[in-house]
Structure formats: structure tokens, C-alpha cells
A and B are shown apart, each in its own frame.
Chain A
Amino acid sequence: MTDDENKAVRSLTDIAQSIYDQIDSGRIPKMTLPLRTKGNIRFDPKHGVFKYGKATGARSAKKVNGALMLLRTMYVLEFIEDMIATSKSSTLREMYYISEGWEKAKFSSQDESNLLAEDLEIVTSCMREDLKLRAEENGASIIGDIDITEMDRKGRLKRINCRDDVGDSGYGIPNNVEKEKVQLLSTNAKFVIAIETGGMFDRLVENGFDEDFNAILVHLKGQPARATRRIIKRLNEELKLPVVVFTDGDPWSFRIFASVAYGAIKTAHISEYLATPTAEFVGITASDITNYKLPTDKLTDMDVRALNAELKDPRFADEYWRGEIETMLKLNKKAEQQALAKYGLDFVTDKYLPEKLTNMGVLR
């Protein structure tokens, strides 16, 4: 057993011990966890990201939900310890299906089992990989002139240039992008551009944006998975590449940017591993909508609620974001990245991005 595995088993057993002791001494068993709400994330000046604050909540057997979650926790502990003992690992989805055999403790949705896995990360301060739990591949990818090595299934280091050695869909970001699996060697690129939608990613690839502007293109595929955020962070830290984020112009895209740059509320316990504080937002901004006279949709009720929630989100509590959110509310409109095609297929690579990136000082 490795040190990490030993630490994981110890921390997991501690949880069970605490529940056992509480019952044994006649108390109502409970676990105390930091609240995972937007009201309880604080800026951590040391890492420049948002982390959980001091507010805690209890998961107590006083209520059915709490009692069931505690019971599930016990089953998950046992399951993880078994995996560590037998050198196995499972995907989060597999764990959800494994719980079919747990009768009363069966998860009612995969969201529930995913959240519990995160809870355990928080309580044990172990990463989910240490707990032998993996996310499913989500298919996000990279295209650009960068050399990396990846350890393949047979334990051999494979050298890959993410422009020349890959197909049109790019280099697929694996689940584990830590150093023992993926090394970043060298690059001629000058910056990283992370793109929300597949359609826009493909447009930039087809237009040769990576070569023309010395860029590394990262497809976020909606709300980015941990591995995607982690590799962006490493590109930024290790290769000193500036990162820009290019998304749709709607409230949900603002949150995508926030999770890349500041840390997601769900994973605020590991924000310092995942977030890239220097990442900048290219657009579509609320002012782009008017400046470029983009085709728009009306905000839905859900959009408006999301924007209003963002006004209370500490991650957006600065002048720039407040302005963006309020402008969007005032316009009552949103626009997709691909709305730029109004001016032709090349407009985004010939005009929009060069213009914006130059203004931001990313391109000179």
C-alpha cells in the first residue's frame, strides 16, 4: 500500500470510528462538513482562488435524509477500503450501480453518489483518485503546437504533439492529468484559449486559428470536468501561458468562466489545484451583444434567476462582473458564440478574436 493509500484508509476509518463512538456514547450520530454553498466560499489570497469558508452543516441521523447519507457513507467507506486492498478502482457511475446491492443504502441518483464522493474528499482531504474513484471520460480535447508525454496502458511513455500527432478532434484529455501520467514538455504557443462549445472549437480548428495565432485550443465541453480545468491550470503554471476563456454570452457561461478562473462551488475544497486565477474572459460579453449587433435570444425566467443569483455570488463581486450581469439584465438578451457567423465563417478568427485579444494585450 502506498503512503497515499495508507492515509486514505486511515482517514476513512476515522470517519467510521467517529460515528461508532457517537452511537456508543448514546448520542445522535452526525458528521460535520463545510457548507457547500455560494454563501460559504471565500477568497483565499494565498492561492488567488475561492475556497470554502468556516460555515459548517451537520449530516445527522435525526432526519431520514441525514441518516440515509450516513448509512451510505458507511457503505462507501467499506467499498473504498475494499478497492484499496485489492488494487482496484471504479468510476463514479460504477459506484452508483454498485449501490444497487446496498438495499436501504442504495443511491437514488448519481448526483447523490457524486456529491457523497466529494464529501469524502473534503472530510479526508484526499483527492478522489486516492479514494480510487474516477470520473467518466468526458471527451474534452486539446489542439495546438505543444509536446507532451502520456503514460499509456502498458506503462510506456508516449510522446505526442497535440497538433501534428492528432486527428481533427484533437488530443483527448484523460481523467488523470497529474505528472505521473501526463508531462508537459515544450510549446511554441503564446497563449491558451479555452472554448465552451464544440461548434466554435471546430470553427477555430478549421480556420487554423492555432497556427495563425500560436494558440493552444482547449475544448471545455460545457461546464469543464476537473481534468480539463487541471490541465489548463498546469499549462498556465508550468508553461507560463496566459489563458483566455471564450464562451457563449449567457449567465451559465459566466459560471463556466468562474469555475475555470476562480474555482467551482462544488469543488472549492480543491480550487487551488483546479482554478487558474489569471484566466481572462474574452466573451461573448454583454457589451459584445450591442457592439457587434449579434443575433440574440430573450432571457428566460431561469436565465434571469441565474443572473440575480450571480449578483450575490462572491466570485462575481467585482466591478467588471457586476457591470456585465447588470448590462445583460438590462438588455434582457443573450447570444451564442456562433452568432458571430452572422458576419461570415471567418469573422470570428479574422476580426472578433484578434480585435478582442489585442485589446486585452494577449496578442500584440
Chain B
Amino acid sequence: MASIADELAKKQKEISVSEFFERNRHILGFDSQIKSLIMGIKEAVDNSLDACEEAGILPEITVMVEKVDKDEFRVTVEDNGPGIIKKAIPNVFGRLLYGSRFHAVRQSRGQQGIGISATVMYGQITTGKPAVVVSKTGTEDVAWRMEIMVNTKKNMPDVLKEDPFIWDGKEHGTKITYHMNGRYTGGKQSVMEYLKQTAIVNPHSRITFVDPDGKRTTFERATDKMPPATKEIKPHPSGLELGTLMNMSKDTKNKTLGKFLQLDFSRISDRLAKEICDKAGLSMEVNPAKLNLEEQKRLLAAIAAVKIMAPPTDCLSPIGANLIKKGLRNVLDEVRPEFYAPPVTRDPKVHSGNPFLIEVGIVYGGDLPKDSQVQILRFANRVPLLYQQGACVVTKSIENTDWRRYGLEQRGGSGIPFGPAIILVHVASTKVPFTSEAKEAIATLPELQAEIELALKICGRSLKTHLNKRETKSKTRVKFEIVQEILPLIAQKSAKIVGKPVPKLSGSITKIMNVVWIDDAVTFEKGHHRVRVSIYNYTPQSQKFNLHMVLPPGSFDYKGLQFFPTEVREDGKVSWELPKISSTERLDVNFSLTGLNKDDYDENEIYASGINPVFIIGAEPLPGDWDVKGLQITESVEAPVVEEEEEEVDYDESKEALNDD
């Protein structure tokens, strides 16, 4: 009699990977109609961007979504990438877990090679139609068109049809067309939003989208510079897990422990390998494949105990502060943000042996909605994350930061803050620790969270500085309006009514203002930045002080200057010793910057020295580390003039009851 175990064993049969994913499609993110459509496009676009980057081509990608009937859509994604050789096409699009990057330690968008073939599979499950792939490499004269389906039983591609043809006007590239059941929507989680965010963090790409209504939107590229190619590196030993170590020591081609440590890991020198072996009580010469569990554990402990240099960082591709700003600017132009906080790119750190780095950017003001939660843009290796915001370490780090200190509203100092802002966080890593295969949220690792919070705080401080500056400026601007426009009119009118000459205003003006006000502007024309710094002395005394600015090094133009700077340093620090400015007089310092792109310079950084800082608005006191040479700094210590008038009730703000009786 067959035992129950035998019975059960008959039913237990191997299921293929594709069959498994077919039954568990949510693991890949295909769990709703709206989402499936986005996920499919995301996989195709990720592949295109990766392929272009590897080949050093500036990406040009077109995404088209067409409605076939109520639920069915036809999606086409075309790139100008290097193309795929004929032999490889079926496997790339018709076989799950086939890919070139699974074992590589370097930063790339796709990692597992599930994506695009899963899209093809999902399409065929929901519509019964094969995907059509067209690809041409630069070296071939013909392109190949193939109709591909995934054989889910065997996890192998079925090629239904293949034809060579001449792809008119196309030098190289790939185009995939597939049918899929889905739902097309707009809003925060949509194809449009995904492409828009992709454009922000890939400013070197040009992305065109044609929506089901035929409306065409193009995100132009903001730079012609490719991101530097990333290098493959060996795993870094810090944070290594026992299982990984055991696998690596079994698979290694190196026959001695010393060589294994040196050659299969990054940042382990001969000397360090010896130190580790000594600590672990193992010989440099043992065969790593023969280590027992006990020895493996000792080895791991020894690795953790020695000091190892941070991993090389050329395996990571940060977007860079400059390009984050450009990307944001390029895409967000229509909401006219008032401020782009200088983006922060942190130095690389390591989690479980994988280098990672954090980048943060904040955009503030303009037409961004004022009383809703800030918008969070999450990116992993330049790929936007649209789902599972709440489960992501990025969101947790933002919630954990006290934004009230940086000028955003936040109840109780935790949670997602409110205000007209967008917070962008990019996590770049050779291995982004996603919470699931759908790659929607990044796991909360303490190393990651600490770095993100640090970067958020640095960026938050710039935001706060800007907001403070804006507030003092707007307060002063209001007074400026009084003394420049309203007061002169009052004087003229009153003089006319009483029939006397217009009185001098200087006394009243200096009493209202009692500051030196610095107003500045940058304009860009004909390849030059023109900078104007206007200094209004609205104090009752004449003032003499020094002006300092930080300019892009080497850009200062000596032509046509009225006031020559006393010093122009190589690092871009420029100082002027200004002439005496009499009470109620104005002095303009004008100069040009040459050889810069428009976006390279848009906000003046102005400092003043030799004057009591309480009298100055529009310039910061010179920081102590400026290290001024050749300038006479005599900090004049004058107490501010005390206002003699006692506080009176403001008549126009006291009429609370007038209209309700």
C-alpha cells in the first residue's frame, strides 16, 4: 500500500519559474489593471535606458499607448539603443530570469532580468497575443522582426514568426509592441507621471509619450553629457552575510584563502588578507572551498573586526547636484517653483557589502499646492518608484525628520510634512534592497535611513535659509515701497495743498528704514550673466563697508567695470572695498560673468564686512572662514538708533467691530 507520503509525492511536481510568476503575478507588480500598464512600460523603458547607457548613446525613447478596446491596450516602446543581436532576442523577451546583470556588482536599473519578459508574459496571459519585437544593431544591414511568446511550462521563448526587413532611417535600436489588458489614468500613479519622473533623473534622455488620445508630450533632454559609465566591482566585505560568504568560498576559482580574500573582494590588500587570516586563526594557504562552518564563522567575524577602506565608488552613478537641479527645472518649469534647494549628493557608504549613495533635492513654492502634503519623488538607480510609498525607507526618513525646523508644516514634528514642496530622494546602489521583487519600495536598513536623513537635513537647511532670507527681504521690500513710492507722493500732495515746496524726505526715510538695503539681480543675455548689486543706504549716517561675493571660479569679467574689486581669488571669492555711501544715497555695483551656461549661475551669494550686521539687509555677515587678505576690516560697533516713538496702536488694524453693527 502506498503511503500518504508517496501519494503526496506524486502530486508534488516541479513548476517552472514562469509558471510560478504566472500564478503570483502580484510579486512582479502586475496586481491591478492601472498598475499593470505602468509596470509594463516601466520595464521596457528601464531596459532601453540601461542599454543606451552601456553603449554610450544619448537615449531617445518613444512610448505610445493605444486603446484597442475597452480593456485592451497596445503599447509600443522604441529606443535608439545598440539593438540586440538576432540570436539573443528570443531569450531577452521570452525567458524569465535571463539577463546579463544578475551576477554583476554595479549600478543598473534592471537587476534580475525578470522585467520585460514578465511584461510579455502578462500581455499574452491577458490578451492571448504575442509581443512583436523589432531590433537592429549598428553593424547589421537588416533588422529582425519577431513574434514572441513565453512558454510558461518550460520558461523558454516560443518564436512564432521571424522576418528580416529594412528598418527605414533607423541605424540601430529596438522596438517592442505588446498587447495588454489594463486601465489608463492620469494622476500621481500614471504612465505620464512615471515618464515625467524618469525624465527628471535622466536629464540626458529625450522621452516622448503619445497617450491614447494621440496627445504627444516630449521631455527634452537637459544635458548632452552621458552619465559616466559605471564599473563592475567585486563585493565589498563589510556587512557580508554568512550565506553569501559560504557560496562565494565554494564557487571561487582561487585555491588559497589569501588569494580568495584579495581577488574576490574589493579593498582587501595582501596585508589586510593576512590580518584577517591571523585574526581568524586560519592559514593564508588553506583552500577556501574546504572551510567548515565553524571556520567560516571565524572568518566572517575577523572580516568584521578589521578596518576596511570604503568600497570604490566608480561602480555608482550619482546624478550629481547640478543635473538634479537641471532635471527638476526642465520638467517642473510649468509650476514656476520659487526655489530649488542646492541638491545634496552624499559620499558613498556601504550596506551589506554593497556601496550606495544618497541624493536629495527639494523644490519649493511657485504654483505647487500649499496646503497638501509635500510630493515625494523616490528613485532607485534612476528609476522612479510610484507605489508602496508608505513602506519605503525614503518615506520613513522623511517622516522621521522634523521639518518644522526647515520651514514646512508638520503636526507634532513627524509624519509627511505639508507645504508647497517636492522632495526628491535618489538611492543609488549596486544592490538596492527592495522590499519585494516588484521593486516598489526600498527596505528600511538603518545605514540607508541614517544617510537619507542626513541628506534631507542638509537640503532642509538650505530651504530654511532661503525662506528666512525671503521673509526679511519681503518685509524690507514693503518698506522700500513706502519710502520709494508712497512717501514721495504724500510729500508732493501735501506740499501742493498747503502751497509750499516739496519737503526733503531723508529724515522720514531713514527713520522708517534705518538699514542698508542690498537688492540684487542676475540676468542672462548673449552668453553673459549680468549681475547688479544695488546698495541703498537708508541709515541716517554715511556708510563705508566691504562687499564680498562667491562666483563661479574664472568667470569674472574685468571689462567695463566701474568699481574694481580689491581681490578676485581663484576659488571665485571676490571682494570690493566700496566707496563711502552718504545717507539716502544709492550705489550700484555691476559686472558680468563669462563662459557659463545659463543654469550655472542664478542666485547671488552676497556678504558684507566692516559694518554692523544689524544694519544690513540682503547680505549675510562675512563668515569667519572666509580668510580675507588685504582688506581693512574694522568692525564698526555702533548701536542701532533707538526708536524714540512709544508704541502706538495702529489705527487701521483696530477696527474689528466696525462692520458688524
Question: Interface of A with B (CB < 8 Å)?
Answer: 12-13, 16-17, 19-20, 22-33, 35-38, 55-71, 74-75, 77-78, 81, 104-105, 111, 115, 223, 252, 255, 258-259, 264-266, 306, 309, 313
Residue numbers in A under 8 Å from B504 (CB-CB): 24
Q: Which of B280-288, B301-309, B619-627, B648-656 contacts A (4 or more CB under 8 A)?
A: B648-656
- Cβ-neighbour of A74 out of B482, B494, B655 (below 8 A): B494
Between A and B, 21 residue pairs with Cβ closer than 8 Å are: A13-B498, A23-B503, A23-B508, A25-B507, A27-B511, A35-B649, A35-B651, A35-B654, A37-B657, A57-B654, A61-B482, A63-B482, A64-B482, A67-B487, A71-B490, A74-B494, A77-B497, A78-B493, A115-B655, A255-B661, A265-B661
How far is A38 from B657 in the complex, measured between Cα atoms in Å?
6
- B332 interface hit (Cβ, 8 Å): no
- Cβ-neighbour of B486 out of A36, A64, A111 (below 8 A): A64
Nearest B residue to A16 by beta-carbon distance?
B497
Interface pair B654/A17, CB less than 8 Å apart: no
Interface pair B651/A309, CB less than 8 Å apart: no
Q: List 10 A-B pairs, minimum CB-CB distance, nearest first.
A: A26-B507, A57-B651, A74-B493, A16-B497, A24-B503, A57-B649, A58-B648, A20-B494, A67-B486, A255-B661
Nearest B residue to A18 by beta-carbon distance?
B494
Residue numbers in A under 8 Å from B497 (CB-CB): 12-13, 16, 20, 74, 77-78, 81
- B505 interface hit (Cβ, 8 Å): yes
- CB within 8 Å for A75 and B508 given contacts A37-B654, A57-B648: no
Nearest B residue to A57 by beta-carbon distance?
B651
Residue numbers in B under 8 Å from A55 (CB-CB): 649
Interface pair A23/B490, CB less than 8 Å apart: yes
Interface pair A309/B486, CB less than 8 Å apart: no
Interface pair A20/B489, CB less than 8 Å apart: no
- CB within 8 Å for A28 and B508 given contacts A55-B649, A60-B650: yes
How far is A71 from B490 in the complex, measured between Cα atoms in Å?
5
How far is A335 from B260 in the complex, measured between Cα atoms in Å?
93
Interface pair A306/B487, CB less than 8 Å apart: no
Interface pair A111/B659, CB less than 8 Å apart: yes
Interface pair A59/B489, CB less than 8 Å apart: no
Interface pair B657/A265, CB less than 8 Å apart: yes
Residue numbers in A under 8 Å from B487 (CB-CB): 23, 29, 61, 67
Residue numbers in A under 8 Å from B512 (CB-CB): 28, 61-62
Nearest A residue to B486 by beta-carbon distance?
A67
Nearest A residue to B658 by beta-carbon distance?
A266
- CB within 8 Å for A36 and B655 given contacts A61-B512, A63-B650, A75-B493: yes
How far is A27 from B510 in the complex, measured between Cα atoms in Å?
9
- Cβ-neighbour of B649 out of A29, A56, A265, A266 (below 8 A): A56
Residue numbers in A under 8 Å from B511 (CB-CB): 26-28
- Cβ-neighbour of B661 out of A25, A81, A105, A258 (below 8 A): A258
- CB within 8 Å for A104 and B486 given contacts A26-B511, A37-B654: yes
How far is A144 from B414 in the complex, measured between Cα atoms in Å?
70
- Seed contacts A13-B497, A23-B487, A37-B656; 16 additional CB < 8 Å A-B pairs: A16-B494, A23-B508, A27-B511, A28-B511, A32-B651, A35-B651, A36-B655, A37-B657, A56-B651, A57-B652, A63-B650, A78-B496, A223-B661, A255-B660, A309-B657, A313-B657
In the assembled complex, the CB of B657 is this many whole angstroms from the nearest CB of chain A, namely: 4
In the assembled complex, the CB of A55 is this many whole angstroms from the nearest CB of chain B, namely: 7
Residue numbers in B under 8 Å from A66 (CB-CB): 650-652
In the assembled complex, the CB of B66 is this many whole angstroms from the nearest CB of chain A, namely: 53
- B163 interface hit (Cβ, 8 Å): no
How far is A35 from B660 in the complex, measured between Cα atoms in Å?
16
Interface pair A61/B651, CB less than 8 Å apart: no
Interface pair B508/A61, CB less than 8 Å apart: yes
- CB within 8 Å for A20 and B661 given contacts A29-B490, A71-B493: no
In the assembled complex, the CB of B137 is this many whole angstroms from the nearest CB of chain A, namely: 68
Q: Is the interface of B mostly helix, strand, loop or mixed?
A: helix
- B506 interface hit (Cβ, 8 Å): yes
How far is A247 from B311 in the complex, measured between Cα atoms in Å?
85
Q: Which of B481, B482, B500, B651 has the most CB of A within 10 A?
A: B651
Residue numbers in A under 8 Å from B486 (CB-CB): 61, 64, 67-68, 70-71, 104
- CB within 8 Å for A67 and B482 given contacts A58-B648, A255-B660: yes
How far is A255 from B649 in the complex, measured between Cα atoms in Å?
26
- B485 interface hit (Cβ, 8 Å): yes
- The count of A-to-B residue pairs whose CB atoms sit within 8 angstroms is 150
Question: Interface of B with A (CB < 8 Å)?
Answer: 478-479, 481-482, 485-487, 489-491, 493-498, 500, 503-508, 511-512, 645, 648-661
Interface pair B649/A20, CB less than 8 Å apart: no
Residue numbers in A under 8 Å from B505 (CB-CB): 23
- Cβ-neighbour of B507 out of A27, A30, A259 (below 8 A): A27
In the assembled complex, the CB of A38 is this many whole angstroms from the nearest CB of chain B, namely: 4
Nearest B residue to A78 by beta-carbon distance?
B497
In the assembled complex, the CB of B395 is this many whole angstroms from the nearest CB of chain A, namely: 37
Residue numbers in B under 8 Å from A29 (CB-CB): 487, 490, 508
Interface pair A36/B507, CB less than 8 Å apart: no
Residue numbers in A under 8 Å from B654 (CB-CB): 35-37, 57
How far is A244 from B602 in the complex, measured between Cα atoms in Å?
71
How far is A255 from B660 in the complex, measured between Cα atoms in Å?
8
Interface pair A27/B478, CB less than 8 Å apart: no
How far is A252 from B511 in the complex, measured between Cα atoms in Å?
44
Interface pair A115/B658, CB less than 8 Å apart: yes
Residue numbers in A under 8 Å from B656 (CB-CB): 37
How far is A258 from B657 in the complex, measured between Cα atoms in Å?
14
How far is A12 from B497 in the complex, measured between Cα atoms in Å?
9
Residue numbers in A under 8 Å from B500 (CB-CB): 20
How far is A85 from B478 in the complex, measured between Cα atoms in Å?
37
Residue numbers in A under 8 Å from B490 (CB-CB): 19, 23, 29, 61, 67, 70-71, 74
How far is A136 from B653 in the complex, measured between Cα atoms in Å?
27
How far is A67 from B659 in the complex, measured between Cα atoms in Å?
23
- CB within 8 Å for A33 and B498 given contacts A23-B508, A71-B486, A306-B660: no
How far is A61 from B489 in the complex, measured between Cα atoms in Å?
12
Nearest A residue to B656 by beta-carbon distance?
A37
Nearest A residue to B492 by beta-carbon distance?
A74
In the assembled complex, the CB of A288 is this many whole angstroms from the nearest CB of chain B, namely: 22
Interface pair A23/B494, CB less than 8 Å apart: yes
Q: Which of B487, B497, B498, B650 has the most CB of A within 10 A?
A: B497
Residue numbers in B under 8 Å from A64 (CB-CB): 478-479, 481-482, 486
Interface pair A20/B651, CB less than 8 Å apart: no
In the assembled complex, the CB of B642 is this many whole angstroms from the nearest CB of chain A, namely: 14
Interface pair B493/A26, CB less than 8 Å apart: no
How far is A14 from B504 in the complex, measured between Cα atoms in Å?
20
Residue numbers in B under 8 Å from A115 (CB-CB): 655, 658
In the assembled complex, the CB of A214 is this many whole angstroms from the nearest CB of chain B, namely: 32
Residue numbers in A under 8 Å from B496 (CB-CB): 78
Nearest A residue to B644 by beta-carbon distance?
A27
How far is A105 from B496 in the complex, measured between Cα atoms in Å?
16
Residue numbers in A under 8 Å from B661 (CB-CB): 38, 223, 255, 258-259, 264-266
Residue numbers in A under 8 Å from B481 (CB-CB): 64
Interface pair B660/A309, CB less than 8 Å apart: yes
Q: Which of A63, A69, A259, A313 has the most CB of B within 10 A?
A: A63
Residue numbers in A under 8 Å from B507 (CB-CB): 23, 25-27
Residue numbers in B under 8 Å from A57 (CB-CB): 648-652, 654
Residue numbers in A under 8 Å from B478 (CB-CB): 64
How far is A242 from B505 in the complex, measured between Cα atoms in Å?
58
How far is A264 from B655 in the complex, measured between Cα atoms in Å?
13
Interface pair A19/B494, CB less than 8 Å apart: yes
How far is A65 from B508 in the complex, measured between Cα atoms in Å?
16
How far is A40 from B652 in the complex, measured between Cα atoms in Å?
15
Residue numbers in A under 8 Å from B659 (CB-CB): 111
Residue numbers in B under 8 Å from A36 (CB-CB): 654-655, 658
In the assembled complex, the CB of B325 is this many whole angstroms from the nearest CB of chain A, namely: 35
How far is A189 from B477 in the complex, measured between Cα atoms in Å?
64
How far is A158 from B496 in the complex, measured between Cα atoms in Å?
44
Nearest B residue to A63 by beta-carbon distance?
B650
How far is A252 from B660 in the complex, measured between Cα atoms in Å?
8
- CB within 8 Å for A60 and B648 given contacts A25-B507, A67-B490, A68-B486: yes
